Amino acid sequence: MRHTGWLSILSMLVAATVAAQGKPDFSGRWVLAASPGAGPNVARSLTVRQPIVRTNVYGAPMDPLFGELTVERQFVSAVRTDIYQIGVTGGRVGGVVPTGRGTGPDMNIPEDRFSVRWEGNRLVIETGNYSGPTREAGPYTEHVEVWQLDARGMLILSVTDRGSGIESTTKTLTYRKN
């Protein structure tokens, strides 16, 4: 009887948290299920941690939200961990590299940009590196991942890579929960 009471309270807390945030939880271990043309640069499995934030920086309660996504990607011969701050857009300017005369339009300013945001129930992770006054004016690379859960609970990743001097490619990868 005592256990039933605790289970009821726990279920209500979990339901309230999920309803309050309205976003999918990608947490868990995922194994590649389908990937037409997957090469060695495709992760065979993912371990995802997506903690829920329930208090603000001052310790006051707030509506639960996912503030961070940690992804450990297991490749054929390597493991890589990436940490993303959800809702953050930013970048870094590496400095000014003169190409000849000193100042003006002939200067290359290397820049890294990133964005991690929700678009409905899809999480969009974008990274890019640019070396001109505009993206198209100099060498650039972009990587975009769109994360979503389908009706069966499978993790669908749509991955697009593009840049100067390379053909744009998009892969759709399907992972099942392990």
Instruction: Give per-residue pLDDT as tens, 101-148.
Output: 444 444 566 788 899 999 999 999 999 998 876 777 778 899 999 999
Predicted pLDDT at 6: 41
Which domains occur in the chain, in start order? Answer: 25-177 (2.40.128.20)
151, HSE (Cβ side, Cα atoms, 13 Å):
0
Predicted pLDDT at 98: 53
What 3-state DSSP class applies to 117?
A: strand
Predicted pLDDT at 7: 41
Nearest to 119 by CA among 93, 90, 158: 158
Sign of the Cα torsion 91, 97, 102, 105 reads negative
What 3-state DSSP class applies to 13?
A: helix
Predicted pLDDT at 8: 41
- pLDDT tens per residue, range 64-92: 888 899 999 999 899 999 999 999 888 87
Predicted pLDDT at 19: 35
Quickly state the pLDDT bin for 12 (edges 50, 70, 90).
very low
Answer whether residue 173 shows pLDDT above 60.
yes
Dihedral, 126, 128, 134, 138 alpha carbons, nearest 10: -150
Answer whether residue 26 shows pLDDT above 50.
yes
Predicted pLDDT at 131: 83
CA distance 75 to 69: 19
